[in-house]
Amino acid sequence: MKKIAIINGPNLNLLGKREPGVYGNEGFESFLSKLKVDHPDVMLEYFQSNIEGEIVDFIQQAGFSCDGIVLNPAAYTHTSVAIGDAIAAIPAPVIEVHISNVHAREEFRKISHVSAKAKGTICGLGLEGYSLAINYLKMKN
Ligand code: DQA
């Protein structure tokens, strides 16, 4: 069975409570339960951290042990050369996901240190983006 890691960056532990007008009303833990029901044919591993170095450590570990990574680096998308470098360093394909349409928001959100290193990016489709990314990874490798 394929193993896919989902990694969420800072403040995504507050999904459901945080800016619901932008990110919706559902917490990630409840969404994850649904994802597992919708994708019984893969092993889903979940990691969330508010700390950049912990995300780098997890990418390094999952990048050599999983078949793919679904990564929402949250605010680190726009600042973290280290997360971009970690993606470039691993063999597993990474799909970058953003819940909101970052291109329709503030200018600083249009810059990503991740997009050029990722296999592809999904943004603006809400939590559904995670499921679409998993479908791609199931299909492609
Ligand atoms: C986000 C978009 C980022 O700009 C923001 O900092 C986040 C969440 C998204 O999923 O839409 O925390 O990655």
For residue 137, the model assigns a pLDDT of: 98
- The residue-averaged pLDDT of 59-80 equals 98
pTM confidence score: 0.97
Best of 26, 100, 114 to mutate for ligand 1, by most ligand atoms within 8 A of CB? 100
- How many whole angstroms from 61 Cα to the centroid of ligand 1? 23
- The residue-averaged pLDDT of 67-85 equals 98
Q: Is the CB of 98 under 6 A from ligand 1?
A: yes
CA distance 106 to 90: 31
Residue 93, pLDDT above cutoff 70: yes
* Domains of the chain by start residue, with CATH: 2-140 (3.40.50.9100)
Q: Is the CB of 13 under 6 A from ligand 1?
A: no
For residue 125, the model assigns a pLDDT of: 98
Q: Is the CB of 74 under 6 A from ligand 1?
A: yes
